[in-house]
Protein backbone atom coordinates (compact mmCIF):
# COMPACT_ATOMS: atom_id res chain seq x y z
CA UNK A 1 0.00 0.00 0.00
CA UNK A 2 1.27 3.46 -0.92
CA UNK A 3 1.77 5.52 2.22
CA UNK A 4 1.46 8.81 0.34
CA UNK A 5 -1.96 7.81 -1.06
CA UNK A 6 -3.27 6.96 2.38
CA UNK A 7 -2.10 10.32 3.76
CA UNK A 8 -3.68 12.17 0.82
CA UNK A 9 -7.02 10.44 1.33
CA UNK A 10 -7.00 11.29 5.03
CA UNK A 11 -6.30 14.99 4.32
CA UNK A 12 -9.29 15.35 1.98
CA UNK A 13 -12.62 16.69 3.38
CA UNK A 14 -15.40 14.16 4.01
CA UNK A 15 -17.64 13.25 1.12
CA UNK A 16 -20.97 15.02 0.93
CA UNK A 17 -24.27 13.38 0.23
CA UNK A 18 -26.51 14.48 -2.62
CA UNK A 19 -28.25 17.05 -0.38
CA UNK A 20 -24.95 18.70 0.44
CA UNK A 21 -24.71 17.30 3.98
CA UNK A 22 -21.77 15.34 5.15
CA UNK A 23 -22.39 11.62 5.03
CA UNK A 24 -22.72 10.13 8.49
CA UNK A 25 -19.97 7.97 9.69
CA UNK A 26 -21.25 4.56 10.87
CA UNK A 27 -20.39 3.84 14.47
CA UNK A 28 -20.41 0.43 16.05
CA UNK A 29 -22.65 0.03 19.13
CA UNK A 30 -20.86 -1.36 22.14
CA UNK A 31 -21.93 -4.95 22.68
CA UNK A 32 -23.75 -5.70 25.93
CA UNK A 33 -22.08 -8.21 28.18
CA UNK A 34 -23.97 -11.50 28.23
CA UNK A 35 -25.68 -12.32 31.51
CA UNK A 36 -24.58 -15.58 32.97
CA UNK A 37 -27.47 -17.64 34.32
CA UNK A 38 -27.08 -18.71 37.89
CA UNK A 39 -27.10 -22.45 38.15
CA UNK A 40 -29.86 -23.91 40.33
CA UNK A 41 -28.76 -26.70 42.62
CA UNK A 42 -31.64 -29.15 42.87
CA UNK A 43 -32.19 -31.37 45.87
CA UNK A 44 -32.79 -35.08 46.04
CA UNK A 45 -35.29 -35.99 48.76
CA UNK A 46 -35.54 -39.48 50.17
CA UNK A 47 -38.57 -40.24 52.38
CA UNK A 48 -38.35 -43.16 54.79
CA UNK A 49 -40.92 -44.73 57.09
CA UNK A 50 -40.27 -43.39 60.60
CA UNK A 51 -40.93 -46.79 62.19
CA UNK A 52 -39.43 -49.35 59.83
CA UNK A 53 -36.90 -47.07 58.02
CA UNK A 54 -38.27 -48.53 54.78
CA UNK A 55 -37.75 -46.35 51.71
CA UNK A 56 -41.14 -45.05 50.61
CA UNK A 57 -40.34 -42.42 48.02
CA UNK A 58 -37.47 -40.76 46.19
CA UNK A 59 -37.99 -37.28 44.78
CA UNK A 60 -35.49 -36.13 42.16
CA UNK A 61 -34.77 -32.53 41.13
CA UNK A 62 -36.67 -30.84 43.95
CA UNK A 63 -36.23 -27.08 43.89
CA UNK A 64 -34.40 -25.67 46.92
CA UNK A 65 -37.27 -23.22 47.55
CA UNK A 66 -39.84 -26.02 47.81
CA UNK A 67 -41.78 -26.07 51.07
CA UNK A 68 -42.58 -29.09 53.21
CA UNK A 69 -46.20 -28.68 52.13
CA UNK A 70 -45.15 -29.00 48.47
CA UNK A 71 -43.06 -32.07 49.29
CA UNK A 72 -46.14 -33.60 50.92
CA UNK A 73 -48.04 -32.97 47.69
CA UNK A 74 -45.31 -34.73 45.67
CA UNK A 75 -45.33 -37.65 48.11
CA UNK A 76 -49.13 -37.86 47.84
CA UNK A 77 -48.88 -38.36 44.07
CA UNK A 78 -47.02 -41.63 44.56
CA UNK A 79 -48.98 -42.69 47.67
CA UNK A 80 -52.58 -41.61 47.16
CA UNK A 81 -53.75 -43.13 50.47
CA UNK A 82 -51.71 -40.58 52.45
CA UNK A 83 -53.11 -37.16 51.65
CA UNK A 84 -51.06 -34.16 52.89
CA UNK A 85 -53.11 -33.53 56.04
CA UNK A 86 -52.46 -37.11 57.09
CA UNK A 87 -48.68 -36.83 56.72
CA UNK A 88 -46.13 -35.97 59.38
CA UNK A 89 -42.74 -35.19 57.81
CA UNK A 90 -39.78 -35.06 60.19
CA UNK A 91 -36.01 -34.68 60.18
CA UNK A 92 -35.67 -37.40 62.79
CA UNK A 93 -37.83 -40.51 63.23
CA UNK A 94 -38.74 -39.44 66.78
CA UNK A 95 -38.54 -35.70 66.20
CA UNK A 96 -41.25 -33.10 65.82
CA UNK A 97 -43.23 -32.66 62.64
CA UNK A 98 -41.97 -30.01 60.26
CA UNK A 99 -44.28 -27.12 59.44
CA UNK A 100 -45.81 -26.96 55.98
CA UNK A 101 -44.28 -23.53 55.42
CA UNK A 102 -40.70 -24.69 56.21
CA UNK A 103 -38.43 -24.27 53.16
CA UNK A 104 -36.21 -27.16 52.09
CA UNK A 105 -32.98 -25.18 51.67
CA UNK A 106 -33.39 -23.68 55.16
CA UNK A 107 -33.51 -27.09 56.81
CA UNK A 108 -30.33 -28.64 58.27
CA UNK A 109 -29.98 -31.10 55.38
CA UNK A 110 -27.65 -31.50 52.42
CA UNK A 111 -28.59 -31.57 48.75
CA UNK A 112 -29.47 -35.22 49.32
CA UNK A 113 -32.02 -34.94 52.09
CA UNK A 114 -33.46 -37.77 54.12
CA UNK A 115 -36.87 -37.14 55.67
CA UNK A 116 -39.06 -39.42 57.75
CA UNK A 117 -42.78 -40.01 57.31
CA UNK A 118 -45.34 -40.92 59.94
CA UNK A 119 -49.01 -41.60 59.27
CA UNK A 120 -51.24 -39.39 61.44
CA UNK A 121 -54.30 -41.46 60.65
CA UNK A 122 -57.59 -40.38 59.15
CA UNK A 123 -58.17 -36.65 59.61
CA UNK A 124 -61.23 -34.50 60.22
CA UNK A 125 -61.57 -30.73 60.14
CA UNK A 126 -61.41 -28.77 63.40
CA UNK A 127 -64.66 -27.01 62.55
CA UNK A 128 -66.48 -30.33 62.26
CA UNK A 129 -64.99 -31.53 65.54
CA UNK A 130 -65.98 -28.39 67.45
CA UNK A 131 -69.50 -28.32 66.02
CA UNK A 132 -70.00 -31.95 67.00
CA UNK A 133 -68.51 -31.45 70.46
CA UNK A 134 -70.68 -28.42 71.26
CA UNK A 135 -73.95 -29.39 69.61
CA UNK A 136 -74.08 -32.59 71.66
CA UNK A 137 -74.13 -31.01 75.16
CA UNK A 138 -76.68 -28.43 74.00
CA UNK A 139 -79.17 -31.07 72.81
CA UNK A 140 -78.48 -33.55 75.62
CA UNK A 141 -79.03 -30.96 78.34
CA UNK A 142 -82.34 -29.88 76.78
CA UNK A 143 -83.52 -33.51 76.74
CA UNK A 144 -83.11 -33.65 80.51
CA UNK A 145 -84.56 -30.18 80.98
CA UNK A 146 -87.76 -31.07 79.11
CA UNK A 147 -87.79 -34.43 80.89
CA UNK A 148 -88.34 -36.56 77.84
CA UNK A 149 -89.54 -40.13 78.55
CA UNK A 150 -87.21 -42.90 79.78
CA UNK A 151 -85.06 -40.49 81.82
CA UNK A 152 -87.02 -39.98 85.02
CA UNK A 153 -90.17 -41.63 86.36
CA UNK A 154 -93.09 -41.67 83.84
CA UNK A 155 -95.12 -39.30 86.02
CA UNK A 156 -92.50 -36.58 85.40
CA UNK A 157 -92.43 -36.92 81.58
CA UNK A 158 -92.52 -33.50 79.89
CA UNK A 159 -93.03 -31.69 83.19
CA UNK A 160 -91.12 -28.61 84.36
CA UNK A 161 -89.22 -27.93 87.56
CA UNK A 162 -90.73 -25.74 90.25
CA UNK A 163 -87.36 -24.08 91.00
CA UNK A 164 -86.52 -21.01 88.93
CA UNK A 165 -82.80 -21.66 89.27
CA UNK A 166 -83.26 -24.80 87.16
CA UNK A 167 -84.65 -22.71 84.30
CA UNK A 168 -81.88 -20.15 84.75
CA UNK A 169 -79.25 -22.90 84.65
CA UNK A 170 -80.73 -24.24 81.41
CA UNK A 171 -80.56 -20.76 79.85
CA UNK A 172 -76.95 -20.27 80.96
CA UNK A 173 -75.86 -23.71 79.77
CA UNK A 174 -77.59 -23.25 76.40
CA UNK A 175 -76.17 -19.75 76.02
CA UNK A 176 -72.64 -21.07 76.63
CA UNK A 177 -72.80 -23.75 73.94
CA UNK A 178 -74.68 -21.61 71.40
CA UNK A 179 -71.90 -19.04 71.88
CA UNK A 180 -69.29 -21.73 71.27
CA UNK A 181 -71.02 -22.90 68.09
CA UNK A 182 -71.22 -19.35 66.71
CA UNK A 183 -67.58 -18.67 67.61
CA UNK A 184 -66.54 -21.83 65.77
CA UNK A 185 -68.36 -20.70 62.64
CA UNK A 186 -67.59 -16.99 62.61
CA UNK A 187 -64.73 -16.13 65.01
CA UNK A 188 -62.06 -18.82 65.35
CA UNK A 189 -59.21 -19.07 62.86
CA UNK A 190 -57.43 -22.39 63.12
CA UNK A 191 -53.70 -22.72 62.51
CA UNK A 192 -54.21 -26.42 61.72
CA UNK A 193 -57.02 -27.41 59.40
CA UNK A 194 -57.50 -30.96 60.65
CA UNK A 195 -57.06 -33.26 63.62
CA UNK A 196 -57.04 -37.09 63.93
CA UNK A 197 -60.51 -38.59 63.49
CA UNK A 198 -60.10 -40.73 66.61
CA UNK A 199 -60.00 -37.60 68.77
CA UNK A 200 -63.61 -36.76 68.02
CA UNK A 201 -64.80 -39.86 69.87
CA UNK A 202 -62.70 -39.04 72.93
CA UNK A 203 -63.73 -35.38 72.96
CA UNK A 204 -67.41 -36.10 72.41
CA UNK A 205 -67.39 -38.70 75.18
CA UNK A 206 -65.99 -36.04 77.53
CA UNK A 207 -68.38 -33.21 76.64
CA UNK A 208 -71.49 -35.29 76.06
CA UNK A 209 -70.95 -37.50 79.10
CA UNK A 210 -70.46 -34.59 81.50
CA UNK A 211 -73.45 -32.74 80.00
CA UNK A 212 -75.69 -35.74 80.66
CA UNK A 213 -74.34 -36.20 84.18
CA UNK A 214 -74.83 -32.55 85.13
CA UNK A 215 -78.24 -32.25 83.46
CA UNK A 216 -79.54 -35.38 85.16
CA UNK A 217 -79.04 -33.97 88.66
CA UNK A 218 -79.88 -30.31 87.97
CA UNK A 219 -83.19 -31.22 86.29
CA UNK A 220 -84.02 -34.09 88.64
CA UNK A 221 -87.46 -33.86 90.27
CA UNK A 222 -85.77 -34.09 93.68
CA UNK A 223 -83.24 -31.33 93.00
CA UNK A 224 -82.84 -28.80 95.82
CA UNK A 225 -81.84 -25.16 95.13
CA UNK A 226 -78.65 -23.56 96.55
CA UNK A 227 -78.36 -23.18 100.32
CA UNK A 228 -78.06 -19.39 100.31
CA UNK A 229 -81.00 -18.84 98.03
CA UNK A 230 -81.39 -15.94 95.63
CA UNK A 231 -78.28 -14.06 96.82
CA UNK A 232 -76.06 -17.01 95.91
CA UNK A 233 -77.77 -17.45 92.55
CA UNK A 234 -77.51 -13.76 91.63
CA UNK A 235 -73.82 -13.53 92.54
CA UNK A 236 -73.13 -16.69 90.53
CA UNK A 237 -75.04 -15.32 87.55
CA UNK A 238 -72.94 -12.14 87.57
CA UNK A 239 -69.73 -14.22 87.65
CA UNK A 240 -70.97 -16.43 84.82
CA UNK A 241 -72.01 -13.55 82.53
CA UNK A 242 -68.88 -11.51 83.29
CA UNK A 243 -66.63 -14.41 82.36
CA UNK A 244 -68.65 -15.26 79.25
CA UNK A 245 -68.21 -11.72 77.95
CA UNK A 246 -64.52 -11.82 78.87
CA UNK A 247 -64.01 -15.13 77.06
CA UNK A 248 -65.69 -13.79 73.93
CA UNK A 249 -63.58 -10.60 74.08
CA UNK A 250 -60.36 -12.62 74.21
CA UNK A 251 -61.44 -14.75 71.25
CA UNK A 252 -62.08 -11.59 69.21
CA UNK A 253 -58.68 -10.17 70.20
CA UNK A 254 -56.90 -13.40 69.20
CA UNK A 255 -58.80 -13.49 65.91
CA UNK A 256 -57.66 -9.99 65.03
CA UNK A 257 -54.02 -11.00 65.53
CA UNK A 258 -54.13 -13.38 62.57
CA UNK A 259 -55.16 -12.18 59.08
CA UNK A 260 -57.45 -14.53 57.11
CA UNK A 261 -55.56 -17.43 55.55
CA UNK A 262 -52.41 -16.66 57.53
CA UNK A 263 -50.54 -18.66 60.16
CA UNK A 264 -48.76 -15.60 61.54
CA UNK A 265 -48.17 -15.71 65.28
CA UNK A 266 -47.89 -12.52 67.31
CA UNK A 267 -47.72 -11.64 70.98
CA UNK A 268 -51.27 -10.85 72.15
CA UNK A 269 -51.58 -7.54 73.99
CA UNK A 270 -54.49 -5.80 75.72
CA UNK A 271 -56.76 -3.68 73.55
CA UNK A 272 -59.15 -0.86 74.44
CA UNK A 273 -61.62 -3.50 75.60
CA UNK A 274 -61.20 -3.74 79.43
CA UNK A 275 -61.86 -7.48 79.34
CA UNK A 276 -58.61 -7.94 77.41
CA UNK A 277 -56.53 -6.26 80.10
CA UNK A 278 -56.09 -9.68 81.67
CA UNK A 279 -53.41 -10.18 79.00
CA UNK A 280 -51.19 -8.07 81.27
CA UNK A 281 -51.07 -10.92 83.77
CA UNK A 282 -51.75 -14.22 81.96
CA UNK A 283 -50.90 -15.75 78.60
CA UNK A 284 -54.25 -17.51 78.09
CA UNK A 285 -57.03 -15.35 79.58
CA UNK A 286 -59.58 -17.18 77.43
CA UNK A 287 -58.99 -20.24 79.63
CA UNK A 288 -59.10 -18.08 82.76
CA UNK A 289 -62.52 -16.74 81.80
CA UNK A 290 -63.70 -20.21 80.78
CA UNK A 291 -62.87 -21.63 84.18
CA UNK A 292 -64.50 -18.61 85.82
CA UNK A 293 -67.72 -19.27 83.89
CA UNK A 294 -67.92 -22.81 85.17
CA UNK A 295 -67.10 -21.71 88.71
CA UNK A 296 -70.09 -19.36 88.48
CA UNK A 297 -72.26 -22.18 87.10
CA UNK A 298 -71.13 -24.43 89.96
CA UNK A 299 -72.06 -21.84 92.58
CA UNK A 300 -75.37 -21.19 90.82
CA UNK A 301 -76.48 -24.83 90.75
CA UNK A 302 -74.61 -26.10 93.84
CA UNK A 303 -74.30 -29.41 92.04
CA UNK A 304 -71.43 -31.84 92.65
CA UNK A 305 -71.15 -33.14 89.02
CA UNK A 306 -70.79 -29.51 87.84
CA UNK A 307 -68.01 -28.95 90.38
CA UNK A 308 -66.22 -32.08 89.19
CA UNK A 309 -66.57 -31.00 85.54
CA UNK A 310 -65.12 -27.58 86.48
CA UNK A 311 -62.16 -29.21 88.23
CA UNK A 312 -61.37 -31.56 85.34
CA UNK A 313 -61.72 -28.70 82.86
CA UNK A 314 -59.40 -26.51 84.93
CA UNK A 315 -56.73 -29.23 85.01
CA UNK A 316 -56.93 -29.75 81.25
CA UNK A 317 -56.93 -26.03 80.44
CA UNK A 318 -53.96 -25.51 82.76
CA UNK A 319 -52.02 -28.10 80.74
CA UNK A 320 -52.93 -26.31 77.51
CA UNK A 321 -52.10 -22.89 78.96
CA UNK A 322 -48.68 -24.02 80.20
CA UNK A 323 -47.87 -25.45 76.78
CA UNK A 324 -48.87 -22.26 75.01
CA UNK A 325 -46.98 -20.15 77.57
CA UNK A 326 -43.79 -22.15 76.95
CA UNK A 327 -44.31 -21.76 73.22
CA UNK A 328 -44.61 -17.97 73.58
CA UNK A 329 -41.43 -17.78 75.67
CA UNK A 330 -39.52 -19.88 73.17
CA UNK A 331 -40.73 -18.01 70.10
CA UNK A 332 -40.64 -14.41 71.34
CA UNK A 333 -37.57 -13.10 73.18
CA UNK A 334 -39.41 -9.94 74.23
CA UNK A 335 -42.38 -11.80 75.69
CA UNK A 336 -43.70 -10.02 78.84
CA UNK A 337 -42.05 -11.74 81.85
CA UNK A 338 -44.85 -10.83 84.27
CA UNK A 339 -47.39 -13.15 82.68
CA UNK A 340 -48.41 -16.51 84.12
CA UNK A 341 -50.05 -19.27 82.05
CA UNK A 342 -53.63 -19.14 83.43
CA UNK A 343 -53.88 -17.69 86.96
CA UNK A 344 -52.16 -14.36 87.74
CA UNK A 345 -49.01 -14.73 89.92
CA UNK A 346 -49.96 -18.32 90.73
CA UNK A 347 -50.11 -20.78 87.87
pLDDT tens-digit map of 282-318: 999 999 999 999 999 999 999 999 999 999 999 999 9
Instruction: Give tens-digit pLDDT for 72-120.
Output: 999 898 888 888 888 899 998 888 888 888 888 888 888 888 999 998 8
CATH class of the domain comprising 43-121: alpha beta
- 3-state class percentages of the chain: helix first, strand second, coil last, to nearest 5: 50, 10, 40
Instruction: Give tens-digit pLDDT for 215-238.
Output: 999 999 999 999 999 999 999 999
C-beta of residue 279 within 8 angstroms of C-beta of residue 269? yes
C-beta of residue 288 within 8 angstroms of C-beta of residue 278? yes
Whether this prediction's pTM lies above 0.85 is answered by: no
Q: What are the residue ranges spanned by the domains of the chain? A: 43-121, 124-220, 226-347
Amino acid sequence: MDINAVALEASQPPKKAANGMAAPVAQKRPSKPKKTKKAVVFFEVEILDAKTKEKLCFLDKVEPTATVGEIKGMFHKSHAQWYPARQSIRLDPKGKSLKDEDILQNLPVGTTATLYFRDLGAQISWVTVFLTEYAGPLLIYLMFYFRVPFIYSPKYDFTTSKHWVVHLACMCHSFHYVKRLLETLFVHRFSHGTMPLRNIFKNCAYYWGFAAWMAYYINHPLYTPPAYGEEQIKVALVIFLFCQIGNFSIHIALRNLRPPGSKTRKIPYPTKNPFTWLFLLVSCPNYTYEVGSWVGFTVMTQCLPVAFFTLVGFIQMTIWAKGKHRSYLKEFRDYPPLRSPILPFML
